[in-house]
């Protein structure tokens, strides 16, 4: 095993990698919880990013690849390893094909496509986070997901850089092959869009952004929705029978509906609260801790399990130890 001195020294030798020690990750997440990483590295170079991942594996250092930290919950005790951020953010077009680096923000990608009259991403307007994170979690809204437009994803599999087609990424609702392979790190994606009127796309994106900003204000320390919505067909029969028909959209039932039935709105633990107006929105009202957030999430899952007989599944990802 490497000593505490060997790991930083080895990583510091990688050109184009900026490395820091004991960095609070509050600045890297939407919840602004104070857990720190033993090591924090960032780079816009693919070669440096791959070299850092390779070195960490050889040194037996745990790695958490992070983007904009939208869906990350960092333990109060921090992360005993390397938090590594890929900042390459290039976006380019060739006809209706758009290539984008994983470090670009999803908002920048949506704006890029809308301004050029390329349709297919406008319903994602206002979703925070990086493109890499969006691909990893198959981000989406209003009945559409980014996977519908992905033709290929380039990634590092721990040994080499390779690509998968969109079909090979095994996308499902808020799922992808990358969630099943934590050792894979997304580098870039190609998306096939459709030529359309830029003004019409901008109007649609602006309307969606206004709605999202009312629901999830930019100043709110939250990850958006905490739990995944449910596919009606996958619910236990008893639970599905209780869902009003008017609640179901595109075969999905909002997790918020189940949470409302168990009194989630306004629930709190310390500085962590569930919004009074949205049962699937948990935020840090000030001074909240990761333990409080994890505890409240666990409590809400237990309430739904007891009432409806199934487990809600988080959209957020945990970094560090929570049990």
CA distances, 317 to each of 64, 142, 258 (Å)? 10, 22, 21
In 3D, which of 50, 52, 54 has the Cα closest to residue 155? 50
> For this structure, is 174 an active site residue?
yes
**Catalytic annotation, pick one of 30, 85, 149, 174:** 174
CB atoms within 10 A of CB 126: 21
How far is C-alpha 33 from the chain's CA centre? 16
Provide the edge-to-edge strand list for the sheet that holds 36-43.
18-24, 36-43, 79-86, 63-66
Q: Is 306 an active-site residue?
A: no
Residues comprising the chain, all counted: 323
Q: Residue 321: which H helix or E strand, with range? A: none
Q: Determine the distance from the C-alpha atom of residue 197 to the mean position of all C-alpha atoms in its chain, rounded to a whole number.
A: 30
What is the Cα–Cα distance from 198 to 135, expressed in whole angstroms?
24
**Total Cβ atoms within 10 A of residue 105:** 21
Dump strand ranges (E) for 131-201. Answer: 140-141, 144-145, 150-156, 161-165, 185-192, 194-195
Question: Of the residues 225, 269, 303, 314, which is catalytic?
Answer: 225
Q: Which are the catalytic amino acids?
A: 174, 225, 315
């Amino acid at each position: 095993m490497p000593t505490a001195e060997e790991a930083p020294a080895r990583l510091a030798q990688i050109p184009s990698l900026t490395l820091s020690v004991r960095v609070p990750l509050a600045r890297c997440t939407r919840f602004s919880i104070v857990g720190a990483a033993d090591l924090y590295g960032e780079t816009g170079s693919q070669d440096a990013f791959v070299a850092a991942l390779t070195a960490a594996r050889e040194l037996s250092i745990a790695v958490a690849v992070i983007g904009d930290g939208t869906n990350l919950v960092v333990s109060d005790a921090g992360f005993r390893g390397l938090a590594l951020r890929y900042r390459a953010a290039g976006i380019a077009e060739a006809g209706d094909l758009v290539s984008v680096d994983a470090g670009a923000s999803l908002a920048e990608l949506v704006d890029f496509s809308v301004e050029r009259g390329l349709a297919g991403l406008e319903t994602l307007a206002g979703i925070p986070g990086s493109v890499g994170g969006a691909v990893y979690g198959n981000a989406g809204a209003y009945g559409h997901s980014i996977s519908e437009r992905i033709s290929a994803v380039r990634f590092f599999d721990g040994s080499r850089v390779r690509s998968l087609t969109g079909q090979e990424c095994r996308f499902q609702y808020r799922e992808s092959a990358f969630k099943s392979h934590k050792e894979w790190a997304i580098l870039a994606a190609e998306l096939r869009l459709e030529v359309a009127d830029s003004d019409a796309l901008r109007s649609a994106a602006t309307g969606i952004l206004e709605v999202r900003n009312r629901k999830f204000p930019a100043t709110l320390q939250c990850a958006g929705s905490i739990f995944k919505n449910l596919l009606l067909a996958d619910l236990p029969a008893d639970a599905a029978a209780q869902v009003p028909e008017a609640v179901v959209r595109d075969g999905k039932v909002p997790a918020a509906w189940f949470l409302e039935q168990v009194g989630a709105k306004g629930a709190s633990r310390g500085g962590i609260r569930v919004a009074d107006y949205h049962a699937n929105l948990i935020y840090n009202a000030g001074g909240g801790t990761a333990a409080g957030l994890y505890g409240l999430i666990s409590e809400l899952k237990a309430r739904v399990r007891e009432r409806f007989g199934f487990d809600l599944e988080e959209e957020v990802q945990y970094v560090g130890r929570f049990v």
